[in-house]
Structure 1
Amino acid sequence: MSRIVYLNGEWLAEEEAKVSIFDRGYVFADAIYEVTCVLDGKLLDYDGHAARLKRSTGAIGINMPVDDETLLSLHREIAARNDMTEGLIYLQVSRGNPGDRDFMFEKDMTPTFSMFTQKKQVTETKSAKNGIAVVTMEDLRWGRCDIKTVQLLYPSLAKMEAHDKGADDAWLVRDGEITEQTSATAYIVTADDVVITRPLSHVVLPGITRASALQIAARNGMKVEERAFTVEEALAAKEAFYTSASNFITPVVSIDGKAIGDGKPGALTMKLRELYIADRRANAI
């Protein structure tokens, strides 16, 4: 049975959902997206994702097609229509279809608004149990990585290159310092158990899981420091991990072929993952 998706006010079988070839999301990657995790049939960190969606659309001048109440209702309904208890809800808002290709656009265009689901195991995963290997790669993305656009070509190519090198993903580097993973936030843990991640700026996405993880870490007595860190610091770290809505908190066990710590998921990382899942599960809506 096909998924039920949402497109511009209609619930459709995925095979029936069509978007114009002139849509600016297709022609110019002129679109914003969000992804919210579903666990036990409920939404995790929903308020943060909804707020970031509004921030991102506002940053590039796309009109939000629905109000706050409707947006939450649509998330709940698409999960219910697809019998989703665990997985992801993807949402995309493009500037819309101007009827032809043109770099210029009308500021009052009607957006194209779509949603779909992906059933996925998010709690018990192989990557969480064993950790992942990453390689470092130059960060060649555009300058406004804090806006969650669908301009994901370079992250996609970087992931593919990492796989070709025998790794699972890439950590991106600017001026010798780690910015983030291709589609996640990167962290290291120092020898004295300080969790370090890059501070928010135009070069990193303000991760919703990042915000929750850092709050939970601090609340449980873990030391947290928001600062840039170098590739050399990462290679010398006691532990490393990443956070994202679809993977929660997941250990990184090697960087550029070098084992991090003993090459196994770190104790602090796994404790923080356990605390995160329990806290977010208890606060899901």
Structure 2
Amino acid sequence: MRKALPLRTVFALAALAILVSAIALVATPRSATAAPGKTAVLEELSDAFSQLAESASEAVVFINVSKEMKRNTAPFSGPFGAFPDDFFERFFGPGNPWQRPPQRKDPGGRQVPYGQGSGFIISSDGHIVTNHHVVGDADTITVHLADNRKMEAELVGSDPNTEIAIIKIDAKDLPTLPLADSDQLRVGEWVVAIGSPFGLSHSVTAGIVSARGRGNVGIADYADFIQTDAAINPGNSGGPLLNLQGSVVGVNTAIFSRSGGYMGIGFAIPINMVKYIYDQLRENGEISRGYLGVL
């Protein structure tokens, strides 16, 4: 009769069998069809971003501005165009990296301030939305279209209290961006910023709506800003903030930063504010507001 194995040997063989099975399970190739199913949602989101960037970029423009002045004034060179120095001191503190550089003169001896920003086409006949601080005091406005055309623009109207400006180029059948209802925007919703940071035209960044109704941030008097963590940098000012449907929900206007660059806090004017004053800017070139007083 065969002698029974010792109990210790039985346990050892069982443990060895379990170890071999585990190694075989790890070494077995996973099904090639498993990965696509797990990444389908991410691929759909990626496609949404790609399609949005491709379609919306056609109506986004890069803006260069210049101004000749006889007095001794340095070029404006802040990250959003023509902001004055005290604006940057409020946002970045004294001694910030966006203080005005040494002055430079044209051959005639006059100062030649310069700046740049972004904008987007709101009507097929050439009306463009941008920021007041980008074009409000400019003598010459040059618009660079997505199809590489370069055209001179005229200032139609500008409102420093809301930081909104309308310019126009002489063109027809231009692509435009649809306007959303910014009152329906939700915190946490995906948004996309398109503009020309540091002169790099049609750059696309994405993030979420961090907050709504941000007031008292020292930018404009009549706007409660959309706060976003989409990367907004010098040159994005005036460009569109869009939802995933490709509709404009805001106008990128400023950042909060201690370094002068992106730190995850950007501000955009709600597009409903643009709708509110657009017609008046087109017709009158400015906004007339009533005042309550005592005679």
Does the pair score TM above 0.5?
no
Shorter chain as denominator, the TM-score bin is under 0.3
Per the normalisation by structure 1, the TM-score is: 0.27
Per the normalisation by structure 2, the TM-score is: 0.26
